[in-house]
Chains A and B, each alone.
Chain A
Amino acid sequence: MERIGVFLCWCGANIASTVDVHQVVEWLRDVNGVAHAENYMYMCSDPGQELIKKAIREKNLTNVVVASCSPRMHEKTFRKAASLEGMNPYMVEIANVREQCSWVHQGDKDAATRKAFNIIMSTISKAKANNPLETIRVPITRRALVVGGGVAGMTAALELAEAGYYTALVERDDTLGGKMRRLSRTFPYHEDASAVIAPKIEELKANDNIKLYLRSDVTEVSGYVGNFQVTIETRPTEGEDGAPEVVTEEVGGIVLATGYDLYPVAAMSEYGGGKVPDVIDGLEFEELLKESLATGAPVKRPSDGKEVESVVFIQCSGSRDPEHHKPYCSRVCCLYTNKQATLLTQQNPGAKALISYMDIRTDCKLTEEYCQGNIEEKGLVYIRGRVSRLYREGDAVRVWTADTLTGEKLEIDADLVVLAMAIEPSVGAEQISKMFRAAVDTNGFLQESHIKLRPVESSTMGVYLAGAAQYPKDITDSVSQALATASKIQSMFASDELHQDPLVALVNPEVCAACGLCVPICPYGAREVDERARFSRVNEALCQGCGACVAICPNKACMLKNDTPMQVLNQIHTFLGKEEPAQ
């Protein structure tokens, strides 16, 4: 026979001013199986928890029901308190009489008091049928995988390797460095991008903890947090024949740092769709600048090698256009356009830089001062309005725009036009998302699991996100996020095993028909039909206890531990004041 203790919290006046807490305790004392009932001002306080512990000790309780706020607030607190007295924490249940009762029935004390009692009774009926459960322990493979060898991926890999963990770095190109290899100088200090990245590449190559897979793709991923199996295929070097080499790595944590690509100029029919000569994207212009900076020769335009004297830069090309292109702001183009215009006037003295813009967004450290300084010193001319079209006119590119500040429609002939093209997820991001079960947002960027509080975690445990693959970022932010992912993985690797709530799904193999309906419905990939044993297994390390499989199973073979269909039905019956159905 169970000996249940019920602890009703006043929550200061939150509950006690609406629910007659003394009356409820009176009623509870007459309930079969209730060995102890009391109320207290703040159950979650130290003296409150002490009351619970004392009663468990002295009255030898088998179950505890705390009637208080939502379980999201203090379920953990009370379970921990009970376990300190040797009670299995899963024998503790919370009856939510604040959010679901006192807060919504202010002004009707009688009804609220009766409802609070009913909520507690229904929770008692559930608690009675609870089983003691043990925390699920999952071993951890202390090795990491990083996908993408741009500045973000390289940073994460180096950090993990330096902390002593074996790290596999998979890069599909035959060189490391990502987009930074194509950049000339970096805002705001005009450092040589290649010179910044080169020593990092050397460090990586020299680190014994790093296994470098160049010209490689991940082709298959299985397993779960702490225990992934990843298949990597390496293509033979250019010109060599032979089959790709296939390797499987066992890793515990993963960083996805697959970066970005530029939205193609070909998609911008209003800007010539890539067919008008001397209309290039930002990365192509970086390469022109890079060459000019290396040789000391002025920037020349691609079509005929003419030294450029006038350049129109078009910001937000393909960005902030929900109607035709990308709805979002690409975040770094305001800054690099200002940088490019500045470097142009430095390399081609006397050249004019005209910048079409809607806003100048400078949300990175020091960049407002940087942009304003350049505008003053270099005489960059910003024209506020979006360019509507451009075309070849004789020797020049003719640009149609408006200046919304004067109310003039403008026509400009320029030697060269540079489009600050939108940043989009890199080619193949979709396959990466599918393979790693890392969700993407509406724009195809890998999605963080909470935009404020879990910004580097993907939707799959153990898989983290770094750099522009998650959203457009400058180098500073890409590096910060990469370091965060490395820290997350190191803190996982700091323990011997992962602990997980045991409130997971359970299958009755006798009843399961192995129909397999539960496999595709599970959002966490936790179900698999064991073809030999002819029933569907639950991978407890993956299961998040969402209940989708329970709902879909036509044979009622699945249930959630401590939330069985019988428990739920009993709760409803109790709540409605009906007899409990037979067990």
Chain B
Amino acid sequence: MQQKIDPAKVRGEEVSQVEEIAGESMYRCYQCGKCSAACPATPEMDMLPSQVIRYLQLGLPEKVLKANTPWICASCLQCMTVCPKGVDLSRIMEGVRMMQLRHGENRIEMREFDEEYRKRAPQIVFISGLRKFQSLS
């Protein structure tokens, strides 16, 4: 395990794009981890919500562009409620989802869900996760 840091990418173009879409600065976060401690969706995530921010702070957007965390995020705002710095992580997740879509990483296709699931799933899934079901093509 070794990761090279490219200083040019720290606070670089792609990270700024996520910040712009999210309307949130990555650098307000002081990595306390309280959001991850509060998030109800972590069991399904492949990295903690605070780690999504961490990789972006380090200028490693490629790490989060492959993560499923933003797609698992239910925009429930638990994280923002507890965050000592008032960071709205759900917006950062949205920013990362947008970036993933722009990179053609379209994780979720409506047709992948069977009829039965779509009936069972609570409405919030379809409302807060609306973007997830929009196919770019």
Contact = CB atoms under 8 A, between A and B. Distances in A.
Interface string A374-401: 0000000000111111000000000011
Contacts of A404: 31-33, 36, 48, 50-51, 54
Given A386-B34, A387-B34, A404-B33, A409 B39 contact: yes
A402 B37 CA distance: 5
A321 B33 contact: no
A330 to B, nearest CB: 14
Contacts, number: 67
B34 A402 contact: yes
A385 B42 CA distance: 15
A409 B36 contact: yes
Contacts of B38: 388-389, 400
Interface stretch (B1-9, B83-91, B100-108): B83-91
A270 B32 CA distance: 15
Contact of B33 (A270, A322, A324, A402): A402
Interface string B19-50: 00000000000111111111100110001101
Nearest to A327: B84
B77 interface: no
Interface in B81-117: 82-86
A358 B37 CA distance: 13
Contacts of A408: 48
A358 B39 contact: no
B71 to A, nearest CB: 18
A192 interface: no
B37 A386 contact: yes
Interface in A284-330: 320-325
Contact of A323 (B31, B51, B84): B84
Contact of A324 (B42, B43, B84): B84
B1 to A, nearest CB: 13
A322 B84 CA distance: 6
Contacts of A270: 82
A89 B80 CA distance: 63
Contact of B84 (A385, A386, A389): A386
B82 A409 contact: no
B50 A402 contact: yes
A251 B87 CA distance: 51
B26 to A, nearest CB: 16
Interface string A13-46: 0000000000000000000000000000000000
A358 B30 CA distance: 9
A239 interface: no
Q: How large is the interface on A (under 10, 10 to 19, 20 to 34, 35 or more residues)?
A: 20 to 34
Interface residues of B, number: 23
Given A386-B37, A387-B34, A400-B38, A323 B48 contact: no
A320 B36 contact: no
A150 B78 CA distance: 42
Contacts of B36: 385, 402, 404, 409
Given A400-B38, A404-B50, A386 B85 contact: no
A393 B32 CA distance: 25
Interface string B47-75: 11011001000000000000000000000
A400 B33 contact: no
Nearest to B80: A323
Given A402-B37, A409-B37, A385 B32 contact: yes
Given A400-B37, A402-B34, A409 B84 contact: no
Contacts of B47: 407
A403 interface: yes
A402 B48 contact: yes
Contact of B34 (A322, A325, A385, A403): A385
A402 to B, nearest CB: 4
Contacts of A358: 30, 32
A234 to B, nearest CB: 43
B81 to A, nearest CB: 9
A19 B2 CA distance: 62
Contacts of A400: 37-38
A385 B37 contact: yes
Interface in A244-282: 270
A127 to B, nearest CB: 54
Contacts of A323: 83-86
B48 A407 contact: yes
B32 A409 contact: no
Contacts of A410: 37
Interface in A402-419: 402-404, 407-410
Contacts of A409: 36-37, 39, 42-43, 48
A403 B31 CA distance: 11
A403 B85 CA distance: 19
Interface in B119-137: none
A324 B34 CA distance: 13
Contacts of B82: 270, 388-389
11 contacts: A322-B85, A322-B86, A323-B84, A384-B33, A385-B33, A387-B34, A402-B33, A404-B31, A404-B32, A407-B51, A409-B42
8 residue pairs, one from A and one from B, having the closest CB atoms: A385-B33, A388-B38, A388-B37, A321-B84, A386-B34, A402-B36, A402-B33, A404-B33
Given A388-B38, A400-B37, 15 more contacts: A320-B32, A385-B34, A385-B36, A388-B82, A389-B37, A389-B38, A401-B37, A402-B34, A403-B33, A404-B36, A404-B51, A407-B47, A407-B51, A409-B39, A410-B37
